[in-house]
Structure 1
């Protein structure tokens, strides 16, 4: 999905980002309407192990469900239309928005089908077959969307690198970006907790399931960092987007790299204690620097060669 050069918003992507959740919400409402008269009135929209605990009118279930699918899906997907975001972030937003809207439709459909043929919604439970099949389809479609959505880069990193290479070859050598993340086994475990376990708990309480899923997602995001290095300064971003550490190379008094244990600095992720700031995604190679404002910063260096390269830039920019 390409946007026109010079635009801050990819209009084609924006049309899809808003249109798809609206159509999905409308499709859910139309399909669910065919079950009118076959479900109790009012219908349940919240359950525990014993059955339905909160109820609403059938029309409210349809309208609220369709609106939730359309609004939440559009809010997430539309973030992928902003061309100033990194391409990977735009892919994540598009896939996440599509997945969220489809998952909401799955949960709402499972809740409704679980009440078909019952006289009292208090005896109902979400249909586990619909929930399982819909969740699997949602995950598969979100992954496909992640790999097929092609953000149109108005000015790509390759263009920037080519221009800098022609104008300032030395600056090119000192300007780079790298990603650091925890071991794959950590993300596999978080995925099991955030997806499999939360789906099982969905029948017990959707709120517990939601909290568990969000917690696992936040934990995973805190274990991925993007580090941007240039002769002017360094920026560290959690999940590649959230800035948690910035400083100028000119403010560095001392810089070094070494193998560190994350527990020495309070654990993985972003940690701050007094003047000490650490952003570590795992134990291993890290860059340590002392700044002229008294801060002592530590962040993951991915590997020894990358950490050494960062230290060289810091020393060149500060004369340390």
Structure 2
């Protein structure tokens, strides 16, 4: 079967969103038709307009610009490109450009309201600033939350072969577990918005908020390290924020390892927890790895997917033999 060149789900959004913005802009412009002159003008120098457009021509040009330029980026964002970061960037630009052009058109239109002719027409800076700020913010958010489908290629085949070959020799394992990217985006937006407001009142309060949110971000990421077979006494180490060790277990004391279903909201909440001697770090619903190191000692750690759980279980059981 021939591989599809486009991801149709994201392609529909990448093309549909800019045209939806364009048609909404045209509809609002038609509602304001009676409040603007027949010809719209924009001044750079002097009293005569440097740019002159009739109202129908302005609406047509603005609508086409929003739809065409936005959907071009959206279509490229929906293509099955090898670089996922490029697809995220293009999809974010599709949202940003369409809203930015709509803001520019709205600012131009609002600058003509109440004028008898094109003389005196201008660009409403307030409308453009508000719209452009929202456009840039939503575009950046889209770059973070957009999760394009990864493409399997020859590099992945090579990496898989190397990983399977390495597992035979019981190498050192080092992997991270973290919350969804949208959680970090939300915390960053809280830091920028609330921190900006607190900065007006007190710089110390803004600094305290920044430290608190950074600590919270760090608590939503852990790194698990397992020593390779070349080490005589092998350990499993759990580190919060990637560097702060909170738990250390000898692999020789591992009694059992199994995969269990996980739901953070039914198991004490997301993040690092300790229950009855067990350290627990679960940030999303799915499958977790449970390790027993004797009475009232163990670890429950969330994983990326069931495939990763199976690989870790095979690795740990092989280390017990």
Question: Normalising by the residue count of structure 1, what TM-score does the alignment of the two structures yield?
Answer: 0.48
Q: Which has the higher contact order (CA 8 A, sep 6+)?
A: 1
Larger Rg: 2
